[in-house]
Amino acid sequence: MSRRSYAGGSMHERRSSRFRVSDEELMNFVLRVALLSYQMQPKPAEATPSEPERDRDYSSRIHGALSSSIFSIGDLFRDGQKGVRFPKDLIKVLEQKLQDIAMGKDAAYSDQLIRRTMAVFYGQVKDETFRRQMKENRKIEELILMFATNATNVLKKEPTLQGDGWKVELNNHIAQFVRLLRDCLRHISHVSPELTARLEMYTAKLAPAQPAYSDSGYDSASTSHRDSVSSTKRISMQVNDMPLVLTAARLFKLPANVVQKEIEDLATYCTEKAALNDLKTCLKNINAGAPFPFRREDFDSDAAWQYWRTLETAHLSQLMVVMVQFNPELAKSTPSEALPPTQSSNGRPGSVYSSYTSSRPDSYYASSSAQRHASVSSRHSVLSLGGGLGPSDPDAVPSALEGDEEIQVGFHFTFIPPNPRKYYKRLLEYCIAADLEAMLSPAVGDDDEVSLGILSAPHIELINECALRWRIGQPYRVACFLDIVRQFYERNEVPLECVPEALANITRVTSEIELEKWPTQDVDYLAQIYGQLFSTFLSHLYHSLDGLPHIKPSDVAPYLSVLEIVRESGLLERYDVDVAARMSDIQNQVRDVSARYYGQKMRELQEAPGVNRALPLLLMTDEIEKNAKLLDKRFPEPILGHLDIVSLMLEVQIPHFLMDLDDSKKRLFEDSMNGPTPDVPIQDIFALYRRTKTLLGMYKAFCPSGEIQFDLGGFFEPYVRQWLVNTDNKTTQWVQAAIAADKFQAEGEEGHSSSIIDLFDSLRSPIQFLQDLEWIDEYQEARFFTSLSKTISKAINQYCATIEELFMSEMFPRPTEYIQPQKSSAWLEKAKSLTERGEKKVEAFTFQPESCVKLNNIEAARRLLDNMYEQMEADKKMEVLEHSAPPVPEKVDRGDRFLFTVKVAIAEGLVPLDSSPSAKLDTFVTLSDEQGNRLAKTRTIYESLNPRWDESFDLSVDKPLWIMISVRDRALVGKHDTVGRAYLCLDPKRFGDFLTHDLWMDLDTQGRILLRVSMEGEKDDLQFYFGRAFRSLKRSENDMVRVFIDKMSPFIRQCLSRSVLKTLVKSTQSGSIDYNKALGNVTALFGSLGTKDDVQIPLPQSEKPRVRPETLTDVEIEQAIVPLFDFFDANLSTLNTYLSETTKDMVMSRVWKEILNIIEGLLVPPLSDVQSDMKPLSDKEVDIVFKWLKFLRDYFYAGGEGPISLEALQNQKYRDVLSIRLYYDWHTDALMEECVRMMQHSLRAATPVKKRAKSVYQQRNLGTIRKSKKEKQQEKEKEVSNGETILRILRMRPNTSDFIAQQLQAMNSLQAERDAQAKDAEKRKLQRPRQQPQVPPVPSIPPVPALPPKT
């Protein structure tokens, strides 16, 4: 291409080049810069030393070399300039270069002495202390001085360098090291132009004034390198000697001859002087405010303008100083004719030229020191960017600016194109395209070395040279590079990894110089690029979200890294990018994809074969939760600070699932109730509840601002209710199965068998199931547990009834060979009674271990039920029911029910149906309703006209109910005879005081029966049902213990009877007792007891001391009841072995109580206003009775080893019996006076008010039971009075019936008055407003039903 073809074009072409960069124009200006780069190489002196001069003596040559060397090193850093920092990656590259030189891999540094010096310094670079020091300092001057120090040490020891010869060689080694540094910088991204200029200045200073040769004997390879400071090669005009020109030729694909012709044309006006004039023009333009390179209007603030102006001026001045130092001829005035004739015509107004910035605060052109692996701009030329600290030699500036008067302000440049920024961008595109084409060329083998970045090293060097000469600032360079990479990426010509690399350049520049100091055009340009990048990568992110929910962080990480950088820059607003709107589009995309995925997955699940409609829903919940957890783990933080994928996905999918669940509500319920093996198992329904509850919790956690309307409790409550019904229906099966598998053998220390454990395991299972549900509504959950407690109470009642029936069959065995075991048993009992009546002898009953185990089961059930009460947290559930229950609507029949407790106590004055007056009755009592349905039945009491049953029954009513109390006589054959009937109305209004009423009911024949009736409101709550269960257990326990006592009581009465007493007294008088035999039958325990503990009863003053008749010995008295001790030894050992500690204490206490009652019955008759036929005992007989009492007490205590403690033995009843001895011999009048005195004392004292009957709520757990029992015992101790004892003694005295009746009437009147006062207080209390609900109204009493015909 000729010079005229470029410079002599038409004005139209030149004007159009302002807006369009042609390849021809671009090539021309690139070749100019490449030629200048070659011209600016260090040059040797023209003079060649003569032969005599070479032969001068050795000392003269050394002296001259030393003078030059010492001067150069001494003056190297004398300018006092601020040190220039080198990139931090320089040490890494330098280390690799030094290693290659030391190992002889680099031919450019093959001189042996150079290799040795470099090897020593390589060891220094490897030292951690050196690396840490350089990392903190990073001053290029200190790095050179460190090398000089190591080189000095090496050269001083070199034997070939005699005398001061090492000093000459040192200068050469330092120059080689500076050259090595310049080579290293070519492999580093964005090297500071200040650093490059500084190294060029050092190279110029170290260049020798004349050729110097080494006397070391080493052939230095540095003399043949084109950059060697000691090169003897002259400047030539051959393009083969011009590296950058060759690079440009290859870039533009020009033949060598064409390039050679063009270079020859350009060399006529593209001189170093023209380059210097370009720098001077830039300086004048800055001072004059010309458009190029920049002016004040190109910056947003004065501070930014002054910052750029100061650094640019200093950098231009330093470049000029370097050029003058390379070529001192440039300091002289250069005529304007040397300028190209077409240059003036290329001037353009400055408004179209872009501005630039830097990345270092020290220099507007400095770059970051961080190295980027495989960077698109990872290499630089020697003159990539100039230093920015001002001229290196201030004294040389005036000479360098000679002839400035000829420099005109405006765009008059030789090397700078009309629109530098567009030319630079076009050149960058060319280079990238060429390198990409080379990398993808099939000619490149897999093993061939290629550039790790987009740009190759030669192209990087060419680009940097053009940027330096065209005054392209670092900010525009990195922004332009990013823009071109973006364009190539959008055309799929470069991989995605190139974009973050280009962004890293931006980040490094902006981190060191704030955007406020950038030229406005550069900031706008960068904002535009960022906006385009944001749109591009947001679109990529948008489409990548189609992979939800299986998307991985690696799928979006490259896009996110770019978007994060762009978003955090704050430039999107400048580009008018509506980030919120774009993010809203992404969020809608996530919602749409989530909805599509949910619909597709649900269709797949529903299309799967099977009748279980809950299974697809269950699998869908698993899918939603699994995907949510996976995405939450993969994306723990919102993308770009706004895009929370998990929240958006759950925001759509959970409502969709709830809608599907609600749509299937009817079918689910029907399929779960269609037979014993439903299509939808109830377990799947509850699993669906748990999963749905989990999803609702996730929705609340991830979508706190979202609202979702779904009544989870209302949806699944019918299933729980049905499950509770099914559970209730299974209780009978549980009870029967547990008892059927039980052999009633003691297990463990508690002595219970397996049935009670099995039953409670079955009952605990539904409790645990309900608790595991963790029901969402506390009130509903409390209602569920209330219903379950009712089921538990039902199971306990069934268990108690079954165990009692088995227990009774063991205690009253019946022959199995009879067809009707009940009637056979009646025959057997009748036969036994006849035998006993004839022989007057009661056979001792032997207890079976199985019976003890059954009693232990009842006691164990109480403990297990108490644990279940705690497990269910019944008190807490009751609080929820009280505080969270919905208000009861008015005028709504709540269906109140009342629980009556009817205790059948005793009967008196029954008349036998036989004509024989000595006949006895085998009686039991039945309770029937108005329709004749049996409600309850007592056990049978044999051979008694005054039977005592003491059995309680609970009757639940919702309206007044008439019941018939029938006393029946068990018949041997046929129907049982009716002894008598009575009628009672269980009226809630009558018993609304909730007190216990003792009702003597006259039978329709003869005699009467005592009923104790109390009422309480039956409530549908936990505590009530638990209380009923505890009461059932307690009654069963009492009934079974009573049977134990009933089995022992006849034999005890026979042994402690008046007949035995009379026989003992008579035998003493006749002297017929065999004392030796009696002594032999007394146990050692009782034989060792002394008389010091005999009960001493003081006698009143008025009584004369009794004259003790001939007394019996203790052995004789004890011998009379030896059969009783034998009976106890036989049976109590069984009880002690098989009963648990608790039941044993209970049975033994009841046995002792029975003994005390029998002893009391020997001494006095029961309390009544009718005179008794019973005669008082004699003094001798009374003494014997109290001796028996003492022997029995000592037997049960057994020195502390017995079954009953001394405190329990000497209880209040024991003390009452002892008090009988005190009053037994008193005169009748004295007894009456004492009784009256005690009555008056009772009137003065606070007579205890009859309290309410024991409520079910007082028996809801063992704690309340123990508390109630303790209070009852304390009240009994307060009521201790001997008045009743005196009245019972008076019954045996003649003419005392009227007095007794009067006292009893007074006592009843007093009690009635107290009860009336209590009722009035209760009535006033009810009239006061209170929070508790009032007693529900009850209907009127129905008429008395007609009596059934007598049988």
**909 torsion bin: left (phi>0), alpha (psi -120 to 50), beta (else):** left
In 531-627, which ranges are E strands? none
Measured between alpha carbons, how far is residue 1276 from residues 819, 995, 1206, 1211, 1279 in Å?
50, 18, 19, 11, 5
Residue 200's pLDDT band, with cuts at 50, 70 and 90, is confident
Q: Which two tokens stand for residue 917?
A: 């007056």
Residue 1245's pLDDT band, with cuts at 50, 70 and 90, is low
Express each pLDDT in 1253-1304 by its tens digit. 555 555 556 666 666 666 655 555 554 467 788 888 888 888 888 888 888 8
Residue 1108's pLDDT band, with cuts at 50, 70 and 90, is very low
Mean pLDDT (whole number) for 1229-1245? 79
Which residues does residue 903 pair with via DSSP β-bridges, in sequence order?
A: 952, 1012
Residue 1325's pLDDT band, with cuts at 50, 70 and 90, is low
**Which residue is associated with the tokens 């645990």?**
768
Mean pLDDT (whole number) for 514-528? 88
Between these two residues, 569 and 591, which has the higher pLDDT value?
591
Residue 369's pLDDT band, with cuts at 50, 70 and 90, is very low
Measured between alpha carbons, how far is residue 182 from residues 91, 220, 456, 824, 1285 in Å?
13, 19, 17, 126, 128
Helix (H, G, I), strand (E, B) or coil at 86: coil
Measured between alpha carbons, how far is 613 from 610 in angstroms, rounded to an integer? 8
Residue 81's pLDDT band, with cuts at 50, 70 and 90, is low
The residue among 126, 416, 433 whose CA lies nearest residue 277 is 416
Q: How buried is residue 912: exposed, middle or buried, by Cβ count under 10 Å (0-12/13-18/19+)?
A: middle
Q: Does residue 448 surpass a pLDDT of 70?
A: no
Residue 598's pLDDT band, with cuts at 50, 70 and 90, is very high
Q: Does residue 828 surpass a pLDDT of 70?
A: no
Determine the pLDDT at residue 54.
Answer: 38
Mean pLDDT (whole number) for 5-23? 47
Mean pLDDT (whole number) for 1043-1070? 82
Determine the pLDDT at residue 350.
Answer: 29
Measured between alpha carbons, how far is residue 913 from residues 779, 977, 1006 in Å?
59, 9, 11
Q: Which two tokens stand for residue 1322?
A: 């209760």
Neighbours of 579 (CB within 10 A): 16
Express each pLDDT in 1183-1217 by its tens digit. 889 989 998 999 888 888 888 888 888 888 898 88
User: Which positions ≥6 away from 1068 have C-beta within 8 Å?
Assistant: 1110, 1112, 1116
Mean pLDDT (whole number) for 476-501? 89
Return the top range by mean pLDDT from 336-340, 692-696, 1115-1119, 1337-1341: 692-696
Q: Which two tokens stand for residue 143?
A: 């790095």
Determine the pLDDT at residue 214.
Answer: 32
Q: Does residue 1091 surpass a pLDDT of 50?
A: no
Neighbours of 329 (CB within 10 A): 10
- Phi then psi for residue 479, to 5 deg, are -70, -40
Neighbours of 306 (CB within 10 A): 13
Mean pLDDT (whole number) for 1136-1141? 86
Determine the pLDDT at residue 623.
Answer: 92
Residue 444's pLDDT band, with cuts at 50, 70 and 90, is low
Between these two residues, 888 and 755, which has the higher pLDDT value?
755
Q: Does residue 1088 surpass a pLDDT of 70?
A: no
Measured between alpha carbons, how far is 982 from 1291 in angstroms, rounded to an integer? 30
Determine the pLDDT at residue 1068.
Answer: 62
Measured between alpha carbons, how far is 205 from 224 in angstroms, rounded to an integer? 20
In 987-1130, which ranges are E strands? 997-1002, 1008-1018
Residue 808's pLDDT band, with cuts at 50, 70 and 90, is confident
Determine the pLDDT at residue 12.
Answer: 34
Residue 122's pLDDT band, with cuts at 50, 70 and 90, is confident
Determine the pLDDT at residue 29.
Answer: 92
- In one letter, which amino acid is 69? S
The residue among 1019, 459, 592, 582 whose CA lies nearest residue 786 is 1019
Determine the pLDDT at residue 230.
Answer: 37
Determine the pLDDT at residue 443.
Answer: 62
Q: Which two tokens stand for residue 114?
A: 């150079």
Measured between alpha carbons, how far is 888 from 1333 in angstroms, rounded to an integer? 11
Tell me if 373 sits within 8 A of 452, measured CB to CB. yes
Residue 689's pLDDT band, with cuts at 50, 70 and 90, is very high
Q: Does residue 232 surpass a pLDDT of 50?
A: no
Mean pLDDT (whole number) for 1159-1172? 83
Residue 268, CA atoms < 13 Å, CB-side half-sphere? 12
- Please report, rounded to a whole number, the percentage of residues in the chain having pLDDT higher than 70: 74
Which DSSP state fits 1339? P
Mean pLDDT of the chain: 76
Determine the pLDDT at residue 426.
Answer: 92
pTM of the predicted protein model:
0.61
Determine the pLDDT at residue 66.
Answer: 38
Determine the pLDDT at residue 1101.
Answer: 47
Express each pLDDT in 942-962 by its tens digit. 777 888 888 888 888 878 888
Determine the pLDDT at residue 620.
Answer: 92
Determine the pLDDT at residue 401.
Answer: 45
Mean pLDDT (whole number) for 190-212? 68
Residue 326's pLDDT band, with cuts at 50, 70 and 90, is confident
Which DSSP state fits 845? P
Determine the pLDDT at residue 331.
Answer: 72
Neighbours of 1330 (CB within 10 A): 9
Residue 1110's pLDDT band, with cuts at 50, 70 and 90, is low
Measured between alpha carbons, how far is 962 from 941 in angstroms, rounded to an integer? 26
